[in-house]
Chains A and B, each alone.
Chain A
Amino acid sequence: MSSRGKILSAIRANQPALTTMPDVESLKAYGNKENLLTQYTTVATNIGAKVYEVKSLDEVKTIIQNNFGAGKRIISTIAELSDIADTKEYLGSLPVQLADVELAVLQSDLAVAENGAIWITEDQMGQRVLPFITQHLAVLVKAKNIVATMHDAYNIIGISTQGFGAFIAGPSKTADIEQSLVIGAHGPRSMSLFLLDD
């Protein structure tokens, strides 16, 4: 018998009598559904992200220009940012050719107040490696797309057919050396969140 067959028959011989699958519905009632913007901002700031409340993409451009030096490679999946970022050509790059990206500006349609995370799918990443390999990450999300808990988030995500997606919560970090928090482990050294109120 193949290992697959052996493993599955051992499991079936040993697994206990079937129990019912618990309902996660009752958990959805919990979580503070009020003041989501304030909640989100507090948590995201605590985990090391910089939060900007903005009213327009022009504001986003100004903040980027003030904070990230000229002459560095900036990539964005947001077409309206084509005057300050490469919004097309990078798509032809191999993943390793994105190693010199200074800033990636991406868009997300979902943020989670309880943990400061944003949900981002591969079509919103441009290239899968981009939100990880870039030195700095900025994400634009509409304030009305903030939900309270992870249960609310998966309710919206459903079982989409995207090949890859991730929750990203703040900049890359490690505390492996004597539990000292260091921002900028392997991924972005900073994460800016633009919460768009429109």
Chain B
Amino acid sequence: MADEDEDFSFGGKTGKTAGENPEPAASSQPSAEAAPEISMTGVETAVPVSTDPDIPAHMVRDADAPRRSAFSRASNDLWAALSNWTLWWRLSLLDIRSRYRRTVIGPFWSVLSVAILVVALGFVYALLWKVPYETYLPYFAAGYVTWVFITSVMNEHAGSFIAGANIIRSMTLPVTLHIVRPLFKNILIFFHALTVYVVAALALRYQLEQPLALLLAPVGLVILSANLLWIGIVLAVLCSRFRDFIQVVISVLQIAFFITPIFWYRTELLQDLNGDNIEAERGLADLILANCNPFYHLVEVVRGPLIGHVPEPITYIVTLSAAVIGLGFALFILGRSRGRIAYWV
């Protein structure tokens, strides 16, 4: 009994005062009674899965739930959110629709704004850096589209628990739904914006160095999304408690755009004014701005394959291990704070 109480009153004071409780002695019976009742409806595994297809997993609150650890509570939450795909699919579409409601060209506004920026800046930068725009423009387009995806997701995740406060405070739903929803919405917008790169590459007859690398692009998108998922959980938890973090996220993302090789080439870090390779002296800049820059790897894992270039192994090592470790960390944080999010928003 003591164990059960301690787990359920997560983070709380566990001393049980029987004081005014009319029947404190009977309190251990309900869970014992209810447990077999639940297993009859098929809830036996660690994840509460209902045998009735009409009952989604998150609606079933079995008697064991309170006793499970914070970590498994968080992973159940995430699993419930991800597996309820009809819900997030509809909500994401709804978000896109409501954003462009009553506009004439709808979601193509996001394509158009990216296209204008890429074409305008592409020509200017190609001139400034004296690089051929036939190769620069596709490079910039692919990188910028990926970057817009990353920043929109992170910015939205920072405020997503706060934006979903109404739902969090009045419905029985997994909180990570508010992470999955903006992520998926922005994946859809990313596919729209990707047409800018495709059109630019086709129009300029851009030659892919390694055409087969393209096959790695979907893999990269999955890796990137997995990373955005855990970063989103951490950001949303932090930002719902400490509102100052929202501003921090916005500023960091603004700076990151300029210090990450997106509109400039990474190879430029290794060249002096005459264009000679001076790797020895300037390798440090490359180390800091590319290899040690997480944003570089997140961008490169998608952009590299898009422009026909297989990313270096270190990019995959960094992004994959970050996804695994990060997800564990995010679930840990979420499990520890899950009970308090409703109070914070």
The answer to whether A binds B is no
